[in-house]
Amino acid sequence: MAAIINVVAAGCLLIAFHPQLAAVVAAQVMLGAASAIIPPALAALSLGLVGHGRLDARISRNEGFNHGGNFVAAGMAGSLGYTLGYDWIFYLVCFFAVASAAVVNLINPAEIDHELARGGEERDANGHLKAPLSVRDLFVRKDLVIFLISVVLFHFGNAAMLPMAGQVLAQTHPGSDTAALSACIIAAQLIMVGVAWTVGKAMAAGVGRKPIFLIALATLPVRGILFSFTANPYGVVAIQLLDGVAAGIFGVIAVVIASDLMRGTGRFNLAQGLVALCVGVGAALSNAVSGFIIQWYGYPAGFLSLTAVALAAFGFFALFMPETRGRTEPNVVLIAPLAVEALSIYAHPMR
C-alpha cells in the first residue's frame, strides 16, 4: 500500500520536472495504475482491521474522508496554482502522498487479519480455512453477475452527463463553463461527504443495501431529464448536486455489497477489481454511445438516451438483485445452467 502511494508521488514529480509528452504519458500510466490498486487495497485493509460486523461504518467513514479530502485538496490546489504556479499543484499532491505512505507504516500488521481481508473466513470440519473459491465458480454466481451488470448500467447512464453539460455550457455561455464545472465538482464533493455519512447511519439503523442503491439509481434519470431542458450555469450546478447523491451512495454501497457477496469465498479483492472494471466499461460506453447520439441528434437526445439507460439500470437492479444484508455464508445460487481515514483521500480519483 505504501509503495503504490509513493508511485503517486513519483508520477506527480515526473510531470512537474519533465513536462514533456513522453514523461507526462508515463506519469499518467503510473497514476492510473495507482488509482486502480489503492481503492481495493484500502477496502481490504478496512475489512482485515474491523471485520464484516463493522465494515459498513468503516467504509462510510472512509468515503466521508475521501470526499472531504477531495474538497480540501481542490481548494488548496486552486489557491496554490493561482498564486504560485501550476507546478505547485503537483508538489502538493506529492506531499499528501508521502504523508499517506507514512501513515500506512503506523498500522500494526499484527492487527490485520489477512485471511479476513480477502473475504476468506469459511473453515472446514477440521477448523482449517477453506481454499479460495475458484475463478470459474465465481463467475457463475447469479447475484455477483447481476451486481456487476448493474454497476455497468449505473455508470453507462451516469458518466457522460457532466462532460455533456460542460459542452453545452461552452456553446451557450462561452467563458462560464470552466467556473461552472469547477463549482459542480466542488459542490458535489461536499454533498458526497454528507451522503456517505448518511448511508453509514442508515445501514447501522437496519436499512438494507438494495433500497439504498435504488435511491442512487433513481437520481440518474431525474438528472438526465433536467439536463436535457436547461443550459443555465446555475441550473447545471444545482442539477449536478444529484450526482453527489448518486456517487456518494455508490462509493459506500458498492464495497459493502461486494463484501456481502464474497463473504467466505476468499475473493473479496477480486470482486473489487471486477467492480472497478465494470465502472470503466460503463463509463466508456456512456461517453462513446452518447457521443454518437449527440453528433446526429443533438444534446437533448444524448441526455435522454442516458436517461433511458438509467431507467433500465433501476428496473434491472430492482427486479433481479437480492438483498445482501445479513448474509452469513457465500451465495451458492448459480446462473442456470452455469488509519484508514488518512489514506481515504487517495481512494478514488477526484470527480
Q: Buried b vs exposed e over 139-152: b needs ≥16 C-beta within 10 Å?
A: eebbbbbbbbbbbb
Number of structural domains the chain divides into:
1
Mean pLDDT, rounded, for 328-341: 45
pLDDT given at position 343:
57
CA-to-CA separations, 319 to 21, 138, 141, 145, in angstroms, rounded: 48, 22, 17, 14
DSSP 8-state secondary structure symbol assigned to residue 43: H
CA–CA distance, 7 with 25 (Å, rounded to integer): 14
Q: pLDDT of 14-62, one tens digit each?
A: 888 888 888 888 888 888 888 888 888 888 889 888 888 888 899 999 8
Confidence of residue 124 (pLDDT cuts 50, 70, 90): low
Alpha-carbon torsion (40, 42, 43, 48), positive or negative: positive
Contact 140, 337 (CB under 8 A): no
Question: Is residue 241 in some structural domain?
Answer: yes
Question: Is the CA virtual torsion 223, 162, 345, 28 positive or negative?
Answer: positive
Query: Which pLDDT score, from 0 to 100, does residue 348 have?
Result: 52
pLDDT digits (tens, 9 = 90+) for 78-90: 788 778 877 888 8
The CB-side HSE value for 135 (13 A sphere, CA atoms) comes to 4
For residue 38, is it within any domain?
yes
In a domain, 351, yes or no: no
Q: Quote the pLDDT of residue 283.
A: 93
127 domain residue, yes or no: no
* Dihedral pair phi/psi, residue 206, rounded to 5°: 105, 5
Does 101 fall in a domain? yes
The pLDDT of residue 9 is: 82
CA 188 to chain centre: 14
Query: Would the pLDDT of 319 be above 80?
Result: yes
**Distance, CA of 349 to CA of 260 (rounded, Å):** 25
Q: Who wins on pLDDT, 273 or 346?
A: 273
CA-wise closest residue to 58 among 80, 69, 43, 71: 43
In a domain, 22, yes or no: yes
349 upstream amide cis, omega within 30 of 0: no
Q: Which domain CATH number covers 141? A: 1.20.1250.20
| Average pLDDT score over the chain | 84
pTM for the model stands at 0.84
Question: Which residue range forms the structural domain that includes residue 334?
Answer: 2-118+135-338+342-346
* Number of Cβ atoms within 10 Å of the Cβ of 155: 23
In a domain, 314, yes or no: yes
pLDDT single digits (tens) 261-283: 988 888 888 999 999 999 999 99
Whether the pLDDT of residue 287 is over 60: the answer is yes
Statement: residue 104 has pLDDT above 80 = yes
- Asked if residue 123 belongs to a domain, the reply is no
**What's the average model confidence in pLDDT over 167-177?**
79
Interval 184-236: pLDDT, tens: 888 888 899 999 999 999 999 999 999 999 999 999 999 999 998 888 888 88
